Amino acid sequence: MIIVMRSGATAQQVAAVVRRVESMGFRAHLSEGEERTIIGVIGDERPIDPGIFELMEGVERTVPILRPFKLASRDFHPQDSVFSINGVTIGGKKLCIMAGPCAVESRQQILEVAHAVKEAGAHVLRGGAFKPRTSPYSFQGLGLRGLELLAEAREETGLPVVTEVMAPEAVSMVARYADILQIGTRNMQNFALLQAVGQVNKPVLLKRGMMSTIEELLMAAEYILANGNSRVILCERGIRTFEKYTRNTLDINAIPAIKQLTHLPVIADPSQGTGKWDLVVPVSRACIAAGADGLIIEVHPNPEEALSDQAQQIRPEVFAKLMEDLRALAGPLGREL
Amino acid sequence: MIIVMRSGATAQQVAAVVRRVESMGFRAHLSEGEERTIIGVIGDERPIDPGIFELMEGVERTVPILRPFKLASRDFHPQDSVFSINGVTIGGKKLCIMAGPCAVESRQQILEVAHAVKEAGAHVLRGGAFKPRTSPYSFQGLGLRGLELLAEAREETGLPVVTEVMAPEAVSMVARYADILQIGTRNMQNFALLQAVGQVNKPVLLKRGMMSTIEELLMAAEYILANGNSRVILCERGIRTFEKYTRNTLDINAIPAIKQLTHLPVIADPSQGTGKWDLVVPVSRACIAAGADGLIIEVHPNPEEALSDQAQQIRPEVFAKLMEDLRALAGPLGREL
Amino acid sequence: MIIVMRSGATAQQVAAVVRRVESMGFRAHLSEGEERTIIGVIGDERPIDPGIFELMEGVERTVPILRPFKLASRDFHPQDSVFSINGVTIGGKKLCIMAGPCAVESRQQILEVAHAVKEAGAHVLRGGAFKPRTSPYSFQGLGLRGLELLAEAREETGLPVVTEVMAPEAVSMVARYADILQIGTRNMQNFALLQAVGQVNKPVLLKRGMMSTIEELLMAAEYILANGNSRVILCERGIRTFEKYTRNTLDINAIPAIKQLTHLPVIADPSQGTGKWDLVVPVSRACIAAGADGLIIEVHPNPEEALSDQAQQIRPEVFAKLMEDLRALAGPLGREL
Amino acid sequence: MIIVMRSGATAQQVAAVVRRVESMGFRAHLSEGEERTIIGVIGDERPIDPGIFELMEGVERTVPILRPFKLASRDFHPQDSVFSINGVTIGGKKLCIMAGPCAVESRQQILEVAHAVKEAGAHVLRGGAFKPRTSPYSFQGLGLRGLELLAEAREETGLPVVTEVMAPEAVSMVARYADILQIGTRNMQNFALLQAVGQVNKPVLLKRGMMSTIEELLMAAEYILANGNSRVILCERGIRTFEKYTRNTLDINAIPAIKQLTHLPVIADPSQGTGKWDLVVPVSRACIAAGADGLIIEVHPNPEEALSDQAQQIRPEVFAKLMEDLRALAGPLGREL
């Protein structure tokens, strides 16, 4: 950390900061510029709250030097992390495509979709049993019954299942049915939930908060890793911006950027990231071209009859065509599908 | 809801939409413009998912007419809601000032602040026992011990206590100690938590998500109201924008805007809303001038020694001076303090 | 346009709005819902300022139905526009790649880059002669001398030239040298400049404002089209968001979205859109995969010696490698390069 | 400037950076931490482009220490700047209220408003003769005729006049009529225009770009100051955010923040900053309570008949009431009106 003193800071003020730094067990390194004195703090600064110094007299501001995450960083773990989940690999050369409906609505619906996406080449089945909804009056998911239906679809198709868990006390129940636990965008900083999924032995699909920076996403992953669960898959799913034509703005830059910073696999969600079914196919191709390790796509046999997110679910035949597009792109991109 | 057909939509497409509207129990009202046909949906549209129509052939988009919240709206409840909380009134002419440290750190600290803010004229004591922190390595609060200390501070000063609850399973414990349950900005759309606090008989202080719209804030309030708890206090606490000089951008417009839309009391949090202690005083004055029913302010006896949010906590003597400022402004603004 | 009356609006208030609508030469179409009366305005609403109605008593708000642009819209011109610029085609099946330095710095530099990008397969040479800089103390470009050097590079390589024009009075001078006039992101709503380039017979490359909506971009294009210049190329170049790790957030969704709304060609600028040279290659691939008709890329023979935007310019050998990547992707995407 | 080396940077890479720093005439100051080496650049870093270092091998990133503006900074000029404009003082204890219509529409309209706002106590008359409009089909202002009418209104009332100038070649014409030249939000980074107004002897009202940071606003002011014009008034007028209920989000934090950073006077525009006439009064009060040196308010005798921005103009009687509110607040705030 660098502590920047105000122009005109007195020698006593500088000395007080240096004493403080040293009293915390760090070394202080002074550098007197023409307009400002700056003080370098030597040591692992991650546990220091910068505010401690920002309030001292004569201090203008502090500048962190180290990134605040450690277990999630490439400095700590230079090679890409690759996990195997019930026979499906994620994080290596092979792309991993997850697909299925926004919400599990009925036995027939989930089985129909599961077979369709399996046939088109998907590797993991998605489907929501517990749905976070903006309105208390909207369909909130089938709950436990939805989990049972997902398990049945796995039995029938062999596809591992990813589904969202919304509360710490539901983690053990959801973990009994699901192969991957999903943390939704609104819960990315639900720290009680992050701790809970950090303590189970199931991979976690962590969606970026629609309001969260890349660094905050990596700090949320750090919560899970620090609680002992090393299998975290990150997911770019669109951020909130001023643009109103699309529901979210998929942050395509984030895909290669996150991969520079971390060893964890990164997938993208073009269904949430656009909010419009007719943008899902081109943006899916774009995410893979940008280096994503996989995708999670909402597919519904009959989107206009869906109980949620109608506008962003694609039909099985559109999904099958997308898989063909991706197969054609994988080779030139050095990936496999 | 208005359904806008594409230019060139066929008569059959229009007829199909009309049939669909009617099959859902609504009346359809056709209006043929020069370039577009539009179809009005007559009835309480709130439960309709617009996606149902957006996917039909020939439909360009839909436009909601009614706001999606009901119990929270002024249409439903034209008069301002006023609550009494252990003798403290909120929502009427009298301003309600909540103050205290970001986090409860020790018995001495919380008692010292409690007495100081009480003496300066605060009405409610704030203090975090469970702290949501971006980093798993930061101080996470004293937990139950923090709640006990808050209760002791209430005993000594008579000030009711507001403190954050972060998980559904902690609601009953926190409710045993606190007079007001706070939902933090990261949990504004933690729907499991909203449902849980909706089912207890304690007022709830609901902070706006840092990247949530006013409408989403009111929908979050609707969750609590719909679960049976009518005592919700809304809090503007700054939103996330591109501006980096301040930690958040306090949305001053939101204060009078929210009061137009809802009957619920609205307070502001200039500590979080600015993130800089030296902006807290002018922005506090501004919030009251804009019509806020109160403030929640972080006060610490020794901010540079604080265990969290050092940069935005003010000293008791600054708080006392702020209270004087507010007292001078209250009269001209038609308020009391 | 739809005019939504407040709940409780009186019959007189409704009648007054209807009279107003009719007095402006439109037809009014009344629809009485259970909670609100709405009034449809029949006719070409584009010239109406909604504020006219929003201030009338009893009116809650207005909702536009038609998009405000006309000449730029696909409704008006369903087929893709394709232009030929000195033998280079833009807008059709063939991708158009523009490349060159951020700024023209010297004769040697621009000629070296021009030959390098030509050899790698670029179609158009870019280079700034007039540079918009945040600081008055930064290098502002070579001005007229820069234009002369660009013309010399065109002579040598046969590549048409695109360069930025920053002020209306400079349009005729820049048009004497350039093949395509670029409007920079900060000038997207410099209406005097849009009018000036609308009146010359040169294609215009219009960059999206970094905080402008897609609709505002299309309205800026409409200014140029309405002034008589039909050759407008739109460019997505990243928008400003809360994310700080990258300089801008390239809005990948905007590429297919803009192509749905307009017939004009759409290219992308991954150099500006990321602000980091090591993200340019993956994001370039993504833009093409999303359907962009071309790219504009900053290439410098020696980026760390550049006089501006060092961090986002790539070396000629990186550009050559990128062109190979794009050639491999073009076929599977149904494009040519 | 601080240059942060990557973890694992070699001694040669560090030495190369140090040589580069020294070759530019600066001193380098090395500090070896546990995980990173950092290099301090000693000297006035403002002219250095950080990209020069960011591209060198082994460099992770650079961190600026000095703010990039100089003439605009409080370091350079600690006391508040106070100007006198035709007898009206701005920047001192006395508040300065500017008011008038969005656009000059007719002789009768501007004279009527001018008298009304004068009577209510305004100090400066505002009115647009050249109007930046998103649509080419909207009313663009009366141009020269508008300037003449403003001059006539000044004759009649004695109020100095502020009006917008949109293009460099129009500066001398507008300066012949106006007392203060306004740079609109879309032109805050129209550098050709900033240079032009920097070279005339008229005060400039510089509006913050709706997409610009506080630092960029101060850099835009620096352009004007560096061109020789020291009379710059800054104006917070709302920024663009994700919130859709209001047209802009007035950044109330910016008012005291800007005043910390600069000596220039700061006013606020609650008409643009909210976009809704019924929010103008509370937000005006808030801006003054936050420390603004004045306001600029849109007032129209008959807003629903206005040719632009109908929704945000207030009637003269509302303005008169606002002036009363402000008079009551000025004393408690230590200001005069």
| Alpha-carbon torsion, ordered C132, C133, C137, C143, to 10 deg | -30
DSSP strand pairing (B37-42 vs B83-85):
unpaired
> Measured between alpha carbons, how far is A330 from B232 in angstroms, rounded to an integer?
52
Min Cα separation B199/chain A (Å) = 14
Q: How far apart, in Å, are the Cα atoms of D301 and each of C112, D97, D141, D156, D281?
A: 63, 18, 17, 18, 17
Q: How far apart, in Å, are the Cα atoms of B304 and each of A57, A60, B299, B313?
A: 10, 14, 12, 9
- Taking a C-beta distance cutoff of 8 angstroms, is the pair D183, D215 a contact? no
State which H helix or E strand residue D328 sits in: helix D316-330
pLDDT higher than 80, residue B136: yes
- Chain A positions in Cβ-Cβ contact with residue B307 (cut-off 8 Å): 49
pLDDT higher than 80, residue D46: no
**Cβ burial, residue B46 (10 Å; 0-12/13-18/19+):** middle
> Measured between alpha carbons, how far is D102 from D163 in angstroms, rounded to an integer?
10
For chain B, the residues whose C-beta falls within 8 A of a C-beta of chain C are 2, 4, 7, 29, 31-36, 38, 40, 42-44, 63, 65-66, 75, 211, 240-242, 244
Q: Residue B307: pLDDT band by 50, 70, 90 thresholds?
A: confident
Closest Cβ opposite residue B245 in set D215, D274, D290: D215
Position A307 scores a pLDDT of 79
Nearest chain D Cα to C209, which residue?
Answer: D211
Position A1 scores a pLDDT of 82
Position D306 scores a pLDDT of 81
> Measured between alpha carbons, how far is C72 from C221 in angstroms, rounded to an integer?
7
- Chain A positions in Cβ-Cβ contact with residue B219 (cut-off 8 Å): 134-136
Position A43 scores a pLDDT of 78
Instruction: Classify C247 as helix, strand or coil.
Output: coil
- As beta bridge partners, residue A235 has A207, A267
Q: Which of D121, D125, D124, D120 is nearest to D104 (CA)?
A: D125
- Taking a C-beta distance cutoff of 8 angstroms, is the pair A104, A128 a contact? yes
Size of interface B-C (CB pairs under 8 A): 60
Query: Which of A19, A45, A49 should we substitute to test contact with B (largest number of B Cβ atoms within 10 Å)?
Result: A49
> Measured between alpha carbons, how far is D276 from C51 in angstroms, rounded to an integer?
10
Class of the CATH-defined domain D83-330: alpha beta
Min Cα separation D292/chain A (Å) = 23
Q: Residue D170: pLDDT band by 50, 70, 90 thresholds?
A: very high
In angstroms and rounded to an integer, the radius of gyration of the C-alpha atoms of chain D is: 23
Q: Which of C114, C73, C119, C124 is nearest to C94 (CA)?
A: C124
- As beta bridge partners, residue B39 has B3, B30
Percentage of residues in chain A having pLDDT higher than 90: 73
Query: Which of D65, D67, D249 should we substitute to test contact with A (largest number of A Cβ atoms within 10 Å)?
Result: D65
Query: Residue B256 and residue D215: Cβ atoms within 8 Å?
Result: no
Highest average pLDDT, of A198-202, C306-310, D66-70, comes from A198-202
pLDDT higher than 80, residue D50: no
Position B285 scores a pLDDT of 98
Nearest chain A Cα to B52, which residue?
Answer: A304
Burial B102-117 (b: 16+ CB within 10 A, else e): bbbbeeebbebbbbbb
Check residues A113 and D139 and name the one with the higher pLDDT. Answer: A113
Q: Residue D294: pLDDT band by 50, 70, 90 thresholds?
A: very high
Min Cα separation B169/chain A (Å) = 7
Q: Which of A197, A274, A324, B210 is nearest to D249 (CA)?
A: B210
Neighbours of B10 (CB within 10 A): 12
Tens digits of per-residue pLDDT, A125-149?
999 999 888 888 888 899 999 999 9
> Measured between alpha carbons, how far is C323 from B184 in angstroms, rounded to an integer?
49
Q: Residue B233: pLDDT band by 50, 70, 90 thresholds?
A: very high
Subunits in contact with chain D (3 or more CB pairs closer than 8 Å): A, B, C
> Measured between alpha carbons, how far is D137 from B183 in angstroms, rounded to an integer?
48
Average pLDDT over residues A169-184: 97
Query: Residue C310 and residue D192: Cβ atoms within 8 Å?
Result: no
Position C234 scores a pLDDT of 98
Q: Residue B261: pLDDT band by 50, 70, 90 thresholds?
A: very high
Instruction: Classify A99 as helix, strand or coil.
Output: strand
Position C197 scores a pLDDT of 98
Position C285 scores a pLDDT of 98
Residue B82: CB partners within 8 Å, gap ≥ 6? B89, B90, B91, B92, B265
Position B317 scores a pLDDT of 96
Query: Residue D137 and residue C187: Cβ atoms within 8 Å?
Result: no
Could you give the residue range(s) of every CATH 3.20.20.70 domain in chain D?
A: 83-330
pLDDT higher than 80, residue B45: no
- Chain D positions in Cβ-Cβ contact with residue C24 (cut-off 8 Å): none
Nearest chain D Cα to B217, which residue?
Answer: D243
Average pLDDT over residues B41-47: 77
Check residues B252 and A132 and name the one with the higher pLDDT. Answer: B252
Tens digits of per-residue pLDDT, C106-138?
999 999 999 999 999 999 999 999 988 888 888
Tens digits of per-residue pLDDT, C8-50?
889 999 999 999 889 888 888 888 877 788 888 887 777 777 7
State which H helix or E strand residue A317 sits in: helix A316-330
> Measured between alpha carbons, how far is A180 from A163 in angstroms, rounded to an integer?
7
pTM more than 0.90 = yes
Min Cα separation C93/chain A (Å) = 16
Query: Which of C244, C253, C337 should we substitute to test contact with A (largest number of A Cβ atoms within 10 Å)?
Result: C253
Could you give the residue range(s) of every CATH 3.30.70.1140 domain in chain A?
A: 2-63
Nearest chain A Cα to C322, which residue?
Answer: A333
Mean pLDDT for chain D overall: 93
Class of the CATH-defined domain C2-63: alpha beta
Query: Residue A34 and residue D44: Cβ atoms within 8 Å?
Result: yes
Mean pLDDT for chain A overall: 93
Percentage of residues in chain C having pLDDT higher than 70: 100
Subunits in contact with chain C (3 or more CB pairs closer than 8 Å): A, B, D
Subunits in contact with chain B (3 or more CB pairs closer than 8 Å): A, C, D
Nearest chain C Cα to D211, which residue?
Answer: C211
Nearest chain B Cα to A278, which residue?
Answer: B55
Query: Residue C40 and residue B63: Cβ atoms within 8 Å?
Result: no
DSSP strand pairing (A232-236 vs A204-207):
parallel
- Chain A positions in Cβ-Cβ contact with residue C95 (cut-off 8 Å): none
- Chain C positions in Cβ-Cβ contact with residue A241 (cut-off 8 Å): 239, 241, 249, 251
Min Cα separation B298/chain C (Å) = 25
Position A38 scores a pLDDT of 85
